Amino acid sequence: MTEKVGVYICHCGTNIAGPVDVAEVARWAKENLKGVALARDYRFMCSSLGQEIIQEDIKNEGLTRVVVAACSPHLHEKTFRSACSKMGLNPYLTQMASIREQVSWVTEDRAAATEKAKMMVAGAVRRVQLQVELQPTEVPVNPNTLVVGGGIAGIQASLELADAGYHVFMVEREPSIGGHMAQFDKTFPTLDCAACILTPKMSDVGLHENIELLSYAEVESVSGYVGSFDVRVRKKARYIIEDACTGCGICIEKCPKKVVDEVFEVGLGYRKAVYRPFPQAVPKFPVIDKETCIYFERGTCKACEKFCPTEAIDFEQTDSYVDLNVGNIIMATGYDLFDCTKIPQYGYGRLANVFTNLEFERLCNAAGPTEGRIVLRDGVTEPKSIGIIHCVGSRDKNYHPYCSAVCCMSALKFGHLAMEKTGAEVYSFYIDMRPLHKNYEEFYDRLLQEGMHFIRGRVAEVTDAARLPGEEGKIIIQAEDTLIGKQRRIPVDMVVLLGALQPRFDAKETGLKFGVSAGLDGWFTERHPKLDPVATMTDGVFIAGTCQGPKDIPDSVTQGAAAAARVQGMIAKGTVLIEPIVASIEEARCSGCRICNNLCPFNAIEYLEDKEVSYINAALCKGCGTCVAACPAQAISGAHFTNDQIFAEMEGLLYDVIGSNGATAKSPQPVLEPA
């Protein structure tokens, strides 16, 4: 039976119609291509009017296939497929020819562009006649959700899902949730106490009947597909029996081993070998750090065990594994701080009184190593002058080219806190001031009024080599005050470096585990930077918070909520459609060589021992075609990308050489010259 193909050439305004003679292509297609029942050209095929034209033709002319030569399928494949499907024509009986991205946008010569468009239409027309009806698979969506990361974004997402009645598993790498926000003292611009606004949410998470908190745990592996992910979580051994532990803290008190806390106190304070990161930790259970515990080192001590009133210490404890099945995953893994030792001219690590932003937060924090006193490295002296340096590792091609979004506001916050607590003179050295969001500009104005000094000049050097009177014993910040046009040297007691926010050190590996890619800068890639910032290219996996890019707390909360809303939508719908463009193995032809098994990037192929053949799980298969190409027996075919279909398209493209489809090669064959 011959098919009746409808061919539609889109003008896309002048995008296509400019370089390509669209009327000619339509006329040519009707006259020369076998199977074409009608061919039209129209200004905007994707518009409702354009779609209606197709639909009318399906109804009135009995079209059995549709070819739309327009933009990239990435944009409107779905549009045309659903237009056809509404008229009862299976959506997989359509084909697009991308004569915009692949022709009109890249070819200058009109004759050449028109000829190339003809080729592509010929290819699509030949192919579409070999396409067959396909039905998507409907799979159920497991209402459980996995949230990876217990910072403010993860907490927000979890609470929204849990409050809506859905079960959430939250996995957090550190002993307690809270993330970086728990380290802060105050938040800008409201100067809310960070802990005061965060801990109620942390408590909620800890107590919520719908949230299962797996803290001090990491995700080992992820397999599956949207609606049904299988996740293996490794719970690291706390050496504390959670069921017995009351959180009384005696073990911490009695522990004789004190070490520098590199994580929560950012190397500025101490903790014991058995510790809670901070007093309001959720969960309340401490953790014994195997690396520094005397018992694990030398087999002695065990003071914690001796004093624990409920026998909750268990040195024999091992890591345990939990297997979860969830429908969706939200990644909220946060950021790391830039290592300021990478910029030696700023003196961090060499000059005692140079601190990073996170270190300064800990100084200000009342539960911090100095109980909230802003003091120098000697732990005692209050600074009389402080220099705050913006853009340390940010906006710098030598380190990170991007702007870290929060530092300018941090500078204002630090300035306020420093002046309030110590009365010190505070100098901010900036390139641009970026108070972008609600009430941020007003906060800048407030600091101007409070007498903070602003010097527009990126700091060249921070040094202790005194040169001028008044510099002896101080740290000197040298910069050009660009608004004056002169070099200045400002002697200060303390320097605070606003280090860049950067992706977690293992972000790339983590992303790979979940099927999420990281961009050039290392931040997770969203599906669309403007219109879809929380979804990823992997269905069912979402990203929220700073793991997607540097942002402040309100934006992290917003993204956490957005991701939760998307997940709720999926759960409410109950099922999700899996594209039928998958590979399948013809059992009769399969010899069981298993070459395909390890090639599959999605682990969708398994070997059936009893039948001695391989089998593809259609729900896991993403239709990449690797196995199709690799099978030496050609036993695997890819739906919608069969060999016949692909060869047909190629023959269509080469119509002027092959000519066997009835298209007569008209005079002269233009040679497509490279630009």
Partner 1 sequence: MRYGYYPGCSLTNAARPYEISTRAIAGELGLAFDEVEDWNCCGATEYMSLNKTAAYALIGRNLALAAQSGMRELVAPCSACYLNLRKTDHYMKKYKPLGKVTNQALAAGGLHYEPGSLVVRHLLDVIVKDVGYDAISAKVTRPLTGLRVAPYYGCLIVRPDFNGGSSEDTEYPTHLDHLMEALGAEVVDFPLKTHCCGGHMTQISADTAYELIRRLLQNAAEYQADLLVTLCPMCQLNLDAYQSQVNRHFGTDFNLPILYFTQMIGLAMGLEPKELAIGQEIVSAASALRKIGTVEEIEETAQARRKRDDKSLPMPRIREG
Partner 2 sequence: MARSEDYAPDGFLNEVIEATPGGDTLVTCLQCGTCGGSCPSGADMDDTPRRLFAMINAGMREEVLRSNTPWYCVTCYYCMTRCPKQIPITDLMYTLKRMAVREKLYDDRDAPDWSSSFVGFVESYGRSFEFGLATRYHLTHSPLRKVGVGPMALEMIAKDRMSLRPDKIKGVDQLRAILDTAKSLEGV
Q: Which residues bind partner 1 (CB under 8 A)?
A: 260, 262, 267-270, 339-341, 343-345, 348-350, 352, 356, 359, 369-370, 377-380, 463-465, 467
In the numeric block, which tokens belong to residue 309? 């009133």
Site for partner 2 in 528-547 (CB under 8 A): none
Q: CB of 394: closest distance to partner 2 in angstroms?
A: 9
- Of the pair 226, 391, the CB lying nearest partner 2 is at 391
Dihedral of the CA atoms 507, 508, 509, 512 (nearest 10)? 120
621 vs 608: CA distance, rounded Å: 17
Q: CB of 496: closest distance to partner 1 in angstroms?
A: 13
Q: CB of 391: closest distance to partner 2 in angstroms?
A: 8
Q: What track of x and - describes contact with partner 2 for positions 377 through 416 (by CB under 8 A)?
A: --------------x---xxxx------------------
Q: CB of 396: closest distance to partner 2 in angstroms?
A: 4
CA nearest to 462, candidates 478, 451, 447 = 478
User: Could you tell which of partner 2, partner 1, none binds residue 378, using a CB distance below 5 to 8 A set by kind?
Assistant: partner 1
* Identity of the amino acid at 179: G
Q: What track of x and - describes contact with partner 2 for positions 432 through 471 (by CB under 8 A)?
A: ------------------------xxxxxx----------
CA separation, residue 382 to residues 29, 353, 369, 379, 422 (Å): 83, 11, 15, 9, 7
User: Could you tell which of partner 2, partner 1, none binds residue 268, using a CB distance below 5 to 8 A set by kind?
Assistant: partner 1
User: Could you tell which of partner 1, partner 2, none binds residue 467, using a CB distance below 5 to 8 A set by kind?
Assistant: partner 1
Q: CB of 666: closest distance to partner 2 in angstroms?
A: 47
Cα end-to-end span (Å), the chain: 43
Q: CB of 446: closest distance to partner 2 in angstroms?
A: 25
77 vs 57: CA distance, rounded Å: 18
- Of the pair 372, 580, the CB lying nearest partner 1 is at 372
Q: Pairing mode, if any, of strands 453-456 and 461-463?
A: unpaired
Reduced to 3 states (helix: H, G, I; strand: E, B; else coil), residue 573 is helix
In the numeric block, which tokens belong to residue 457? 């000049």
- Of the pair 382, 587, the CB lying nearest partner 1 is at 382
- Of the pair 221, 487, the CB lying nearest partner 2 is at 487
Q: CB of 521: closest distance to partner 1 in angstroms?
A: 20
User: Could you tell which of partner 1, partner 2, none binds residue 260, using a CB distance below 5 to 8 A set by kind?
Assistant: partner 1
Helix (H) / strand (E) element for 444: namely helix 440-450
Q: CB of 381: closest distance to partner 1 in angstroms?
A: 10
Contact 70, 100 (CB under 8 A): yes
CA nearest to 434, candidates 374, 478, 498, 495 = 498
Q: CB of 532: closest distance to partner 2 in angstroms?
A: 30
The single residue listed with the structure tokens 């024999």 is 316
198 vs 499: CA distance, rounded Å: 23
Q: CB of 403: closest distance to partner 1 in angstroms?
A: 23
- The answer to whether 34 contacts partner 2 (rule: CB under 8 A) is no
- Of the pair 257, 527, the CB lying nearest partner 1 is at 257
User: Could you tell which of partner 2, partner 1, none binds residue 526, using a CB distance below 5 to 8 A set by kind?
Assistant: none
| Interhelix angle 643-653/110-128, nearest 10 degrees | 150
User: Could you tell which of partner 1, partner 2, none binds residue 213, using a CB distance below 5 to 8 A set by kind?
Assistant: none
User: Could you tell which of partner 2, partner 1, none binds residue 508, using a CB distance below 5 to 8 A set by kind?
Assistant: none
Backbone angles phi, psi at 219, to 5 degrees: -80, 125
The single residue listed with the structure tokens 């409702």 is 48
Q: CB of 552: closest distance to partner 2 in angstroms?
A: 22
57 vs 132: CA distance, rounded Å: 20
CA nearest to 241, candidates 186, 305, 181 = 305
Reduced to 3 states (helix: H, G, I; strand: E, B; else coil), residue 455 is strand
The single residue listed with the structure tokens 């359509």 is 94
- Of the pair 307, 402, the CB lying nearest partner 2 is at 402
Contact 365, 373 (CB under 8 A): no
In the numeric block, which tokens belong to residue 343? 């910029």
- Of the pair 3, 481, the CB lying nearest partner 2 is at 481
Contact 494, 483 (CB under 8 A): no
Contact 505, 496 (CB under 8 A): no
Q: What track of x and - describes contact with partner 2 for positions 325 through 364 (by CB under 8 A)?
A: --------------------x-------------------
Q: Pairing mode, if any, of strands 168-172 and 145-148?
A: parallel
User: Could you tell which of partner 1, partner 2, none binds residue 396, using a CB distance below 5 to 8 A set by kind?
Assistant: partner 2
- Of the pair 341, 634, the CB lying nearest partner 1 is at 341
Site for partner 2 in 461-520 (CB under 8 A): 461, 478-482, 485-487
User: Could you tell which of partner 1, partner 2, none binds residue 369, using a CB distance below 5 to 8 A set by kind?
Assistant: partner 1
SS3 content of the chain, % helix, strand, coil (to 5): 30, 25, 45
Contact 130, 648 (CB under 8 A): yes
613 vs 595: CA distance, rounded Å: 11
User: Could you tell which of partner 1, partner 2, none binds residue 391, using a CB distance below 5 to 8 A set by kind?
Assistant: partner 2
User: Could you tell which of partner 2, partner 1, none binds residue 486, using a CB distance below 5 to 8 A set by kind?
Assistant: partner 2
114 vs 116: CA distance, rounded Å: 5
- Of the pair 244, 431, the CB lying nearest partner 2 is at 431
- Of the pair 304, 496, the CB lying nearest partner 2 is at 496
Q: CB of 457: closest distance to partner 2 in angstroms?
A: 4
Q: Pairing mode, if any, of strands 494-499 and 385-392?
A: parallel
Number of CB atoms found within 10 A of residue 252's CB: 15
Q: CB of 41: closest distance to partner 1 in angstroms?
A: 46
Total of chain residues touching partner 2, rule CB under 8 A: 21
Q: CB of 476: closest distance to partner 1 in angstroms?
A: 10
Binding site for partner 2 (CB under 8 A): 345, 391, 395-398, 431, 456-461, 478-482, 485-487
